[in-house]
Structure 1
Amino acid sequence: MSVAALSAPKSHPVSTFLELTKLRISGASTFTAAAGYIAYLRGANAGLITTLLGILLLAMGSSAFNEVQEHKFDAQMPRTANRPIPRGDLSPAQAALIAGVMAVSGFLVLWLAHNLTSALLGALALVWYNGFYTPLKRVSAFAVVPGSLIGALPPAIGWTAAGGHAADPSVLALAFVFFIWQVPHFWLLVGLHAEGYEEAGYPTLVGLFGRPRLSRLTFTWTCGTAAACGLLPLFHVLVSKPAEIMLGLGAVWLILGSLPLLKPGQDAPLYRRVFMNINLFALVLTAAVILDPFFSR
């Protein structure tokens, strides 16, 4: 049990549930799935609701499983010591039960309301995150590179739930952009919280390379994220000029905002600012894909 569990009063059950399932983060992945769904249909219908519900339930279940898996390590880091299990609001068994119910419910919603392909892709995302990426973080500072498949899967789930084929070049291009985006997103988080990760026994690129080299590497991957967006018009994910301009301006803004990573003396406020930038860029990217069919009418 962490220090937080000894000092903090118990939270309201609803608050505990939302913390355990990381609703904000789970909702973000659900939003990217909407991009895949709308990109395939070139519009939206009532099936979008069940798609988003299924993915949200799976994402929340996966997040809860992650907190069960890492609760002992979470208790050692200031950033995570006040999560529900270290705080003592839930036992690992209780949290695992909630996670299982959420994950199974999400799988069934996708399967019964849509198709087996989208449900299996959702299950793959959960297995990859909890069965592969989570334990790999304890072993390698580069775990996020293969682990970024998790960020690529929600758009593909949305695409297939709408009736598309998982191997369609258009959805592969969209998924690839989110795959690349995930890497600098996580490395900026490492730059912010490296000491806490290392105290809990996680290898980090700060410990391996030092902060200046991590910053340069993160900048390079950020530029790669911006460049990868050029695949979306090429593979007809975006076909309207307003959406292309919106995404292009967002990509330029992202690179310009990341340039301070190349200067000496990086500090926490810089990492936090660039981290917010790359999250906002993901929002711009997703919005451009969602709005494109409406711009092109």
Structure 2
Amino acid sequence: MKRSSANTGMAVRAGENNFAGSLTGILKVFSELTKFRITALVSFTTGLGYILAADALSFTMFYAIAGIFLLAAASSSLNHWQEKDTDALMDRTKFRPIPSGRIEPALALYVSLGLLVSGSALLLFTTNFTTFLVGIFTFFWYNGVYTPLKRKTAFAIIPGALVGALPPVAGWTAAGGDLLDGRIVMIAAYFFIWQIPHFWLLLMLYGNDYEKGGFPTLNRIFSPEQLKRITFMWLIGNVMTAMMIPLFLYVNYVASFIGLCVISIWMIYVSIKFLRTETERKSIRNTFIAINFFTLLLITILSIDKLIKVF
């Protein structure tokens, strides 16, 4: 009896471990399918837009953030399905859920549909119609325009950058802000411009891989040095746009303005260092990390500045 009890206990523990392992695997696949880290950043920009427009915080902010998160996750899942064949050809993407065989293409499509319906319903019934339209338009633009365009032109990122510009607009309109208000247009302009050097730095790292997938790349148009100089100009343009934000959007505290100046000077230094350094992976990667960290700091400074005033 004791041996039987011991065997039963071992079987239960093995079953628990298998369940835990399978659950972890499912969550990992879902995280990769929805590009969780990118989707989370998109949600942060939605929160920024809401905070900047609102005179007081309410649950509507969380509904807007959650709705845009679900739509962005739906868009990412659909993108995995759309690019499953090219993903299988590239070293950087061949281990994604669909090409690696961890999820069936049809299931990824169903996941996308479920997220799309959930996110749309949440925005439509908890925010307002304008926010819902901004969210749906962003979804359409990414999957219906930008994704197919990537196979046609190496400059697809320029119209595609609109996708990153719209989530803060959704947050702004959810708080009752005017869609064409100059303040949110300036914020949207920053996120539009930011995406271009962000992508081209990735291109400098993985250009050969993109060519394996059959995508047209700037590597075939420009030399590495030319591409670096062009990317440098976009990096500087991105910083200049950030420094123009206080001209359109009221910054409440001197400390916030100083913070914006400090991070802008730092990013200019990083950009110049990138230009003057030999074109190597370490330099490109460090600049890629820096431009994303700069954007995160910008979001944080602007959000805290407004939140202190609200509270």
Structure 1 match to 2:122: 109
Q: 2: CA distance between counterparts of 1:156 and 1:168?
A: 10
Among 137, 140, 161, the alignment partner of 1:148 is: 161
1:274, distance to aligned residue in structure 2 (A): 0.2
Q: Is the alpha carbon distance of 1:237 and 1:96 closer, same or farther for their aligned partners in structure 2, counting shifts above 3 Å? A: farther
Q: 2: CA distance between counterparts of 1:291 and 1:232?
A: 15
Question: Are residues 1:81 and 2:94 paired?
Answer: yes
Comparing 193-202 with 42-51, greater Cα deviation is found at 42-51
Structure 2 match to 1:170: 183
RMSD: 1.6
Superposition TM-score, scaled by structure 1 size: 0.93
Q: Is the alpha carbon distance of 1:151 and 1:91 closer, same or farther for their aligned partners in structure 2, counting shifts above 3 Å? A: same
Superposition TM-score, scaled by structure 2 size: 0.89
Among 147, 170, 195, the alignment partner of 2:208 is: 195
Q: What one-letter code is carried by the residue in structure 1 that aligns with 2:165?
A: A
Question: Are residues 1:92 and 2:105 paired?
Answer: yes
Structure 1 match to 2:13: none
Q: 2: CA distance between counterparts of 1:106 and 1:294?
A: 26
* 1:202-221 equivalent positions in 2, closer than 5 A: 202-221=215-234
Structure 1 match to 2:251: 238
SS of equivalent to 1:129: helix
Q: 1: CA distance between counterparts of 2:126 and 2:28?
A: 29
Question: Are residues 1:223 and 2:223 paired?
Answer: no
Structure 2 match to 1:123: 136
Kindly indicate whether the alpha-carbon contact (under 8 Å) linking 2:52 and 2:306 is maintained by their aligned counterparts in 1: yes
Kindly indicate whether the alpha-carbon contact (under 8 Å) linking 2:243 and 2:260 is maintained by their aligned counterparts in 1: no
Deviations 1:18-67 (A, max 9, x none): 11011111001100111100000145222211111101100100000100
Q: What one-letter code is carried by the residue in structure 2 that aligns with 1:137?
A: K
Q: What one-letter code is carried by the residue in structure 1 that aligns with 2:221?
A: L
Structure 1 match to 2:59: 46
Question: Are residues 1:132 and 2:140 paired?
Answer: no
Q: What one-letter code is carried by the residue in structure 1 that aligns with 2:99?
A: P
Among 259, 279, 284, the alignment partner of 1:271 is: 284
State, as a whole percentage, how many aligned pairs show the same letter: 40
Comparing 57-66 with 45-54, greater Cα deviation is found at 45-54
Tell me how many residue pairs correspond in the alignment.
289
Comparing 80-89 with 235-244, greater Cα deviation is found at 235-244
**Which has the higher Rg, Structure 1 or Structure 2?**
2
Among 176, 179, 196, the alignment partner of 1:183 is: 196
SS of equivalent to 1:86: coil
Q: In structure 2, list runs of 5 or more residues that go unmatched.
A: 1-20
Q: 1: CA distance between counterparts of 2:223 and 2:205?
A: 13
Q: 2: CA distance between counterparts of 1:206 and 1:242?
A: 42
Q: In structure 1, list runs of 5 or more residues that go unmatched.
A: 1-8
Q: Is the alpha carbon distance of 1:203 and 1:186 closer, same or farther for their aligned partners in structure 2, counting shifts above 3 Å? A: same
Q: Is the alpha carbon distance of 1:257 and 1:42 closer, same or farther for their aligned partners in structure 2, counting shifts above 3 Å? A: farther
Q: 1: CA distance between counterparts of 2:251 and 2:125?
A: 30
